[in-house]
Amino acid sequence: MAKRHFGRRRGNNQRGNHWEAYSPKVQRIVEFQSTPEYLNWLSVEADPEIVGFKEQPGLFQIGKGEGRLITRPDMFVLYRDGRRELREVKTLEELHEAAPRVLRQLAALKACSEANGINYRVVHSGHLRELQVQLQNWQLGVSLITRKETDNERAIRLFLEDAIRIVGACCVGQLANLGACSEGDIFRHVFRAAHGGRIRTDLDRNPMTRRTLLWVS
């Protein structure tokens, strides 16, 4: 069985670091060729509406001969409601320079996505910087939920989820006061419940603390 580790750099390339990590969402080791791609993955893990993804999903093309357009998107994303999306991750510098190679790549992404009835999205490093608080939270969160949940842990998590449903909304500190487990374990259970879309949090705006707000999704 592959070792489950999180956010390990495996060298450098022209766009930043080569990352390797364990994804709870697809339950396997994933690799990314740049830091922006790694941060995009964290945003995917944080989104409970996304149920699956494939990094570097392969070659997409449309047309033949000189008019052929080819793209190798950075990620294929599947949403809970069945929507599909191809993502290309770029730095702001790449978009601002508008090199012919980048323009051809984005044109191919748009054309191939539309031809296959798939949404497309260009995620840039500026957008990822705006998600800094959320991504820092989920860097911690994903590291806490890489290990498989035991039966006892699942029972405690379900108890805590029921407590949130009963009161409608509360904070992490109030859950800790129930005494069902340690505060560190509370964080793990909250991240796991939020990761699965069973509760909502304000982790997109505020760091994870005892004051973190929780409510029923």
The pLDDT tens digits of the residues spanning 154-192 come to 999 999 999 999 999 999 999 999 999 998 899 999 999
Do the domain assignments include residue 137?
A: no
Q: What is the CATH number of the domain that holds 168?
A: 1.10.10.10
**Whose CA is closest to 142, among 195, 202, 210?**
195
CB of 135 within 8 A of CB of 42?
yes
Rounded distance between C-alpha atoms, residue 177 and residue 21, angstroms? 33
Strand order in the sheet with 50-55: 50-55, 75-79, 84-90, 119-124
Do the domain assignments include residue 138?
A: no
Give per-residue pLDDT as tens, 36-53.
999 999 999 999 999 999
Q: Note whether 126 and 157 are same-domain residues.
A: no
How many domains does the chain contain in total? 2
Q: Note whether 16 and 121 are same-domain residues.
A: yes
Q: Note whether 24 and 109 are same-domain residues.
A: yes
Strand partners, 52: 78
Rounded distance between C-alpha atoms, residue 46 and residue 196, angstroms? 9
Q: What is the CATH number of the domain that holds 45?
A: 3.40.1350.10
User: For residue 53, what are the contacts with CB-CB under 8 A and spacing of at least 6?
Assistant: 25, 26, 41, 44, 75, 76, 77, 78
Give per-residue pLDDT as tens, 41-95.
999 999 999 999 999 998 887 777 666 777 889 999 999 999 999 999 999 999 9
Q: Note whether 161 and 55 are same-domain residues.
A: no
Domain with 201, as residue range(s), is 150-216
**Whose CA is closest to 169, among 201, 141, 193?**
201
Do the domain assignments include residue 140?
A: no
Do the domain assignments include residue 144?
A: no
- Identify the pLDDT of residue 101: 84
Do the domain assignments include residue 168?
A: yes
